[in-house]
Amino acid sequence: MHAIVIDAQRETQYVVIVVVFDANTVPYLCISDRFRALRAQLEGVKRSHSKREKQLTLETTIKVAALEQKHAVATSRLTQQVADSAAQVEKLQVEKQELLACIQTQQERLHQLQLALGGKHIVDASR
């Protein structure tokens, strides 16, 4: 029987892996208890990481949903403001047309009065 011992060092922690060769069997590994402990620790870290990742994914999903809701509300509010502004513009355009028509009427009336006054001056002058 032959044995090869491999020392692996990781941060001052030693793991001993023994590869055993038997003349009649396929080689197999004898793994130290420390290696098993490190493997268990790694699995625990993986589980913790997975749990934290799921938690962060959930938190992110909630935040995204809240932002989407705020965006929808803001979009709705802006759409309403646009509609209100368009209605106000239409109202002001109608009012402008009414005022222009009123000014036109007053200018025509003023012109008629000026003509009448000019005619009166002519009549008065001829007397």
Q: Where are the domains of the chain?
A: 54-126
Q: What is the pLDDT of residue 6?
A: 46
Q: What is the pLDDT of residue 26?
A: 52
Q: Are 17 and 32 in contact (CB under 8 A)?
A: yes
Q: What is the pLDDT of residue 9?
A: 47
Q: Which helix (H) or strand (E) holds 7?
A: strand 2-10
| Spatial strand order in the sheet of 13-21 | 2-10, 13-21, 28-31
Cα 14 from Cα 38, distance rounded (Å): 10
List of residues 6+ apart from 28 with CB closer than 8 A? 19, 20
What pairs with residue 8 in β-bridges? Answer: 15
Q: What is the pLDDT of residue 112?
A: 93
Break the chain down into helix, strand, coil percent, rounded to 5. 75, 15, 10
The predicted-structure confidence for 67-86, as pLDDT tens digits, reads as follows 999 999 999 999 999 999 99
Q: What is the pLDDT of residue 82?
A: 97
Q: What is the pLDDT of residue 16?
A: 52
Q: What is the pLDDT of residue 53?
A: 97
Q: What is the pLDDT of residue 124?
A: 73
Under-70 pLDDT residues of the chain? 1-32, 127
